[in-house]
Amino acid sequence: MRSDLMKDGVSRLPHRSLLKALGVTDSEMKRPFIAVVSAASEYVPGHMHLKELAQAVKDGIRNEGGVPFEFNTIGVCDGLAMNHKGMRYSLASRELITDSIEVMLTAHPLDGVVFIPNCDKIVPGMILAAARLNLPSIFVSGGPMSPGKVCGKRVGLSENFEVVGRYADGKVSDEELREWENKSCPTCGSCSGMYTANSMNCLTEAVGLALPFNGSEPAVSSARRRLAKETGERIMYLVRENIRPLDILTRENMLNALATDMAIGASSNTVLHLLAIAHEAGADISIDDIDAMSRRIPQISKLNPASSIFIEDLNEVGGIQTVLNELAKKDLINLDVLTVSGTQRDRLKNAKDADGTIVHSINSPIRADGGIAILKGNLAPEGAVVKQGAVKPEMMDFTGTAKVFDGEQDAYDAILGGGIVPGDVVVIRYEGPKGGPGMPEMLSPTAAIAGKGLDGTVALITDGRFSGASRGASIGHVSPEAAEGGLIAFIENGDKIHIDIPNRKVELLVDDDEIAKRREKGVLPPKELSGYLKRYAKMVRNASVGAVFED
């Protein structure tokens, strides 16, 4: 056992004395030591119940003869960090989470790991750690929040941000605003729509690192507690059989996750995270693979914020297993890959067929291609990302007039202040991984555009990224970013921009001679930075490779 590095033999007497100070008994000293890595904290709603789930996991570990040891990671709530300096730390926290887990589990060698994430960067940060350490590992998330109910309608967090734009237009009263504040986020759990956290928890299940229903079982359900206990029991099997993350995070499993991503219209942020995970695992997945999957895989489920259907509804009709089952009917996934509970084929034996409303039949999809599209063109030769499943039909092929902002806040103020009109393309630059730094999410401006009723007439392009809660013609991850000298740095007010999502193009309609003249002026100098963000900006690569650090 790996834990013998700190507990076996005469030379480890001092180590055993420290373990006994923790209450470890002689009989426990002979058993596998299992890490329980939780993102629990008291001010993130997605994490506030994770101590309870961690206890259930530890109970499951003890049921099967293991000895659990719990520790915690940091975790940023993107909702609370939105639209201020804190958002620059969100994506950047992913690498800190990975590194901190590496430190803890190398300094204190244990035999297996149960990861308990929830919320946007914690899920991929923990998967990156699992791949790097390659110890027997399994995941159980905290589960999704239940949708709120405001004015008789079920709602998620995205509508909460959009109501700010409607309030600015005088369409919402102070009394109604208070109802939104009090009722839109009614329980613990990751925010209720198919936003980044729920997307990544679903993809963790699809890739095979978690048990079925990890992605969709509600945070408040007793079934979630049972799932946590079963996950604790399952890690002991993985340790005995020496099944490790790199046995599961293969190219074939990653393609299964990508197929699921497209089928459910998941958050555009999944592109960043899946690329980063593939890089860490050596799984040989590129942005071109994502583009190919986008063209090949039909979308068969459309959830909030793209519709009024929520992830708890998906759970009721069989969850991600139903989605995978439909994809399997057209041989769109590999059924012979290994998961933490047998092969994918084993897992689908009891999967439900599509209900036809929440999950459409593979023979009658919502759209013929996937919910996410990769765009290229002179504005994004290395790629840009759009959640096309949440774009209105009239915006799928759109030519508009650029209104350029060197940062999110100025753009947000212009939108709320009436400075953006139908036919505009809002360009927000110097918000990429290096230029932001940290590639902040743009939920506030996209929600303001939707809240003002402009999501059918206005597009937004950025080298930053979007929340999974964003909808509309919102094109992010533009690579190269402005800080790298990408063409987005040289757009001027009044330029025409053509967005052609069906043909996967995004083009600045300015001739090459004029662009060459503009390039002579150079890009904005780097921002004055300190602390972690200063180090992050120096080390991070662009979005087309997952915003990973330089090797």
Enumerate the active-site residues.
467
Closest CA to 293 of 373, 194, 377, 204: 373
Who contacts 55 (Cβ-Cβ below 8 Å, separation ≥6)? none
Sign of CA dihedral 461, 387, 160, 201: negative
Token pair 């919320």: residue: 119
Label residue 207 exposed, middle or buried (CB < 10 Å: 0-12, 13-18, 19+): buried
User: From the CB of residue 392, how many other CB atoms can be counted at a distance below 10 Å?
Assistant: 13
| Cα–Cα distance measured from residue 9 to residue 6, given in angstroms and rounded to the nearest whole number | 9
Helices 251-264 & 269-281, crossing angle to 10 degrees?
Answer: 170
Token pair 């979007």: residue: 466
| Cα–Cα distance measured from residue 186 to residue 241, given in angstroms and rounded to the nearest whole number | 41
Token pair 């079920």: residue: 154
Label residue 109 exposed, middle or buried (CB < 10 Å: 0-12, 13-18, 19+): middle
Phi and psi based region of residue 243 (left: phi greater than 0; alpha: psi -120 to 50; beta: remaining): beta
Ranges assigned E (strand) in 281-388: 338-339, 342-343, 373-375, 383-386
